[in-house]
Amino acid sequence: MNFNFKLIISVIFIFFFSCKNMDVAPVYKSIQGKTMGTYYHIKYKGTIDLKSKIDSELIRINNELSTYIDSSTISKFNKSDTGLVVSKTGDIWQNIIKAKEIYTISNGYYDPTVMPLVNYWGFGYTGHKKPDKIDSNKINEILKNVGFDKLEIIPVENDSIFIKKKTKSVQLDLSSIAKGYGVDKIGELINKQGISDYLVEIGGEIISSGLSPSGKKWVVGINTPDENASVTDLVLKIEISDKALATSGNYRNFFDINGHKYSHTINPKTGFPQRSNLLSASIITKDCMTADALATACMVSGFDRAKEIIEKNDSIQGILIYLNNKKEMKVFNTYKNKNNND
């Protein structure tokens, strides 16, 4: 699954291996691999090898949610004229339920029916190619097929749901939530093995549980949101345990058209890539699917609305990196290590 149109923010894991004053150091296993057009890195306490189970689970999710796999469930929906019947327990339905929740929280600035616009701007499955010219009339035509109101949810027998299209050109893009969902599912898989100390990362989206090899919380870094910054340039480091973190930004995945930068984050209300002083948004909450979708919602909403979303929801915390009126990089941070009780 290629999710390049949603910016992957580099999250640097800082593992502490010092075992002074300890007779026996705890054993942690590290595994990594490719998935969803990116890489995964997982560290967990124990010696059991879970790589084959993890790879199988990620392949299964990919076959449901990737718009780059022609036979995937979401591709079947996108190619259909009327919609698709899906299981209530299936991956696509679980993602749609969460997407609708974030759509409501963000007042429609987060909308998974944005797929036709993502393709128009060259960030989707039709190919990574910028448009030859910007056609406002074409964008307005596409907008007629964008919006959650273009879907109708109809229960059918055997615990299934018919996701009905009100117009045949409606298409779904769950890339801004699927990596977070995958992270959560792998966390569940590890939990089922009786392992409670682990960290799972897919393309910068993470979930943590228990303690790191140092016997302390896991430490992760938020990358400096600058196209010229390296992955080792950090704005800040935070400690987390039993929480998820997802970050979204606009500073690397963009096109330059006639001297103007157009990012991969598309505003579903205007049809154009979102331009604002918000450089990156990191969301910390209990599950990564929610964090993933909310990070994108914040980027589409812009700094002021993103700040409002975070402050109004007690279950989430956020780190927004933005430019003030003097073009100085500033940080709005509701996640404070010393005040945080995981």
The amino acid at residue 242 is D
**Residue 107: which region, alpha, beta or left (left: phi > 0; alpha: psi -120 to 50)?**
left
* pLDDT for position 9: 41
Mean pLDDT of the chain: 87
Quick check: 258 and 72 in contact, CB under 8 A? Answer: no
How far, in Å, CA of 218 to CA of 245, rounded? 12
CB-neighbour burial class of residue 323 (10 A; exposed 0-12, middle 13-18, buried 19+): middle
What per-residue confidence (pLDDT) applies to 1? 52
Q: What is the pLDDT of residues 196-242, one digit of tens each?
A: 999 999 999 999 999 999 999 999 999 888 767 666 778 899 999 99
Kindly state the DSSP code that residue 242 receives in the 8-state scheme.
S
- What pLDDT is attached to residue 230? 66
Q: How far is CA 284 from CA 127, 145, 168, 243, 336, in A?
A: 32, 32, 37, 7, 11
Q: DSSP class of residue 226?
A: -
Structural domains of the chain ordered from first start: 11-339 (3.10.520.10)
Which of residues 253 and 150 earns the better pLDDT score?
A: 150
Question: How many other CB atoms are there within 10 angstroms of residue 295's CB atom?
Answer: 32
| Per-residue pLDDT tens over the stretch 248-296 | 986 554 445 454 445 568 999 999 988 788 999 999 999 999 999 999 9
What's the pLDDT score for residue 311? Answer: 95
For the chain, the helix, strand and coil percentages under 3-state DSSP, each to the nearest 5 = 30, 30, 40
Q: Which strands sit side by side in the sheet containing 234-240, from one edge to the other?
A: 11-14, 218-223, 234-240
- What pLDDT does residue 227 have? 67
| Predicted local distance difference test score (pLDDT) of residue 20 | 44
Backbone angles phi, psi at 75, to 5 degrees: -70, -35
